[in-house]
Structure 1
């Protein structure tokens, strides 16, 4: 079986790895005859194709946005001409447009990954008139796919109910971490980090890990922090990540007079992250939109209670009231209330973290997850669905 993928993950060609991306694709390749991955790369870092193994090859395509994907599409056509490609896989529904074109020309089956599903987010649609155009294109390509892979139960419901995609054409298979990655979070020691950050000035630590972008709705977390500090003034909010919103967020902290209780740490090397999870009291994810958020899984492995907005795969990871709390999107009062509840009852918070850990460990089986995806691909090839 020959799979051709379109991926956005530039770490595959930039030599830096976050999590298990490369390892996961190596595992896929072991079960296939051939796996080719087309990935955008900065124009300044031109390089030849990357032969990872006998079965796995990564093809960088250079240029900005549209140009890089045009080059990827042309490269994909050359690959399809030279060798029979059985399934085209695209990382999202916008790239799915290229998959539809290739399927029409070469008769391949088409799988589109639909993680996050921002097209169903009213907030996302308000950000730009272009997003409404994207939603039309993405909805069309998703309906054209032979198979849609999503990463959350709630996402499957949205795909079937709002786009009328038959349930049998949608599979829920998240990208899970390997046992090696899980172990790093389970066994991490956070004492040094906790002492360094809290010192004698603070006694509690609330952690956010993610991109400092609008979709994460960090302003809502800061508004909640203001409320939390009225009852727990010695709480430190630690924000790990970088992004275009950093200056605005720092300005907000100054205006709200909470700058002394909020620490922006920037990007932390992935191998160092487990210690920060181990050091905190709880983890918060206030996003407008998410898929199967890696942050929530990492928090669960670290046995930390979670407060997350009711989006994407949050309910697949967090059982409300048992391993953490699910809150409404953009409701700073409710978010603050749940944070205060956990800070005020540390023993209960600890039990919640342990409950989340048990659920996460039962859910995560890296090898079985890979095997299931490969079996889905085999079933797709064996199906008699007409190629459009």
Structure 2
């Protein structure tokens, strides 16, 4: 089968870690040997490449086409006007992507299914493209696309339109399926397919030697994610005031880095906070394995991949009790859900974890339940089903 993977959440030569979970899921599908794919990952158009323009300059530097892990990736540009962008993005994205997709078909890549990751604007744009090219569309809901964006009237209407017209709808957790139904998507075939974890990449390390190499001592928490407010790094920093013998390492980059450093200074905990910057997955694995617990204080998540990555390295987690997270943490071997997503709630959960700390081997064994095999087989099954349905009506 030939699948057109469509998503703005996909790594590129400039942002190697952007949407890496989409690439990881695709890698698992490709390894079945039954799928051929080309990725269309649109980026906003911007005319200037100078670093003074920040993230926008990064968009300008993304190549029009590249190869990643043996997969061809196209990056058509779409215009995203200020202020109006949120409401017109699906249409502009679809219009900009049409010529690139038409060229693919002219070259012989006559795909069977469009597989869209992220409901808005990506899934809406993919549904428009599906109608134009007469191809079935599968849309995967990932998190913020359903737990935040539908609060806006027009995007919610477009999400519901796309959800009703897609050949199949997938969510990464049961909580997002429930939310889709709550906002009005009345279809019974929404399929929750949770993400898995790469058990070969994320695995235990020699904790003693790795801690020594990384300069880690004492009970150390690791917070991983983009440095923005919704990821909750500020709550983890504030919680250090209530945990005088705990150190925090923060992995990630983003616009709030200076603000978070200032917060640590203002609270007098700067000597117990280490900013690691953006890490490769291989280096991140070492920190997962060397630290004592992952702390995830997010205010919004769909299915947080960092939780399983940490567990696969044998390290339990402390996480906010939101969306799909309770579906990940279901036993003490996995870790602890916070009683509240506050600095005090983090401190309470960490204290509980420390008093009932699981064996690293049992945490790893828990993570092994979440291999990719079952999810991947079901996803390929969805592709086959929607292709057959499309062929039946042609």
TM-score, normalised via structure 2 length = 0.80
Equivalent in the alignment of 2:8: 8
Identify which of 226, 230, 255 aligns with 1:211: 226
Q: Distance in 2 between matches of 1:13 and 1:64?
A: 20
Identify which of 41, 63, 74 aligns with 1:46: 63
CA offsets 1:33-54 (integer angstroms, 9 cap, x no match): 632210236433435454965x
Equivalence map 1:358-373=2 (5 Å) = 358-364=365-371, 366-373=372-379
Q: Distance in 1 between matches of 2:261 and 2:153?
A: 31
Equivalent in the alignment of 1:247: 258
Consecutive unaligned residues of structure 1, counting only runs of 5 or more, are none
Identify which of 189, 198, 201 aligns with 1:178: 198
The Cα shift of 1:177 comes to: 3.2
CA offsets 1:168-221 (integer angstroms, 9 cap, x no match): 2x1222332334213xx23x123344236667xx62111111111122022222
Equivalent in the alignment of 2:382: 376
The Cα shift of 1:309 comes to: 0.9
CA offsets 1:289-319 (integer angstroms, 9 cap, x no match): 1122121011111222211112233123211
Equivalence map 1:67-86=2 (5 Å) = 70-80=95-105, 84-86=110-112
Q: Distance in 2 between matches of 1:2 and 1:272?
A: 34
Equivalent in the alignment of 1:190: 207
Quick one: structure 1 residues 125 and 213, their matched pair in 2 at CA, closer, same or farther if it must change by over 3 Å?
farther
The Cα shift of 1:31 comes to: 4.2
Q: Root-mean-square deviation (CA), in Å?
A: 3.2
| SS of the residue 2:349 aligns to | helix
TM-score, normalised via structure 1 length = 0.81
Quick one: structure 1 residues 195 and 234, their matched pair in 2 at CA, closer, same or farther if it must change by over 3 Å?
farther
The Cα shift of 1:76 comes to: 2.2
Equivalent in the alignment of 1:109: 136
Contact 1:193 / 1:279 at 8 angstroms: preserved in 2? yes
2:164 matches 1:143: yes
Between the two proteins, the alignment pairs up a number of residues equal to 364
CA offsets 1:41-76 (integer angstroms, 9 cap, x no match): 6433435454965xx532232466567764323322
Q: Distance in 2 between matches of 1:51 and 1:337?
A: 43
Q: Distance in 1 between matches of 2:153 and 2:361?
A: 42
Quick one: structure 1 residues 215 and 125, their matched pair in 2 at CA, closer, same or farther if it must change by over 3 Å?
farther
| SS of the residue 2:275 aligns to | strand
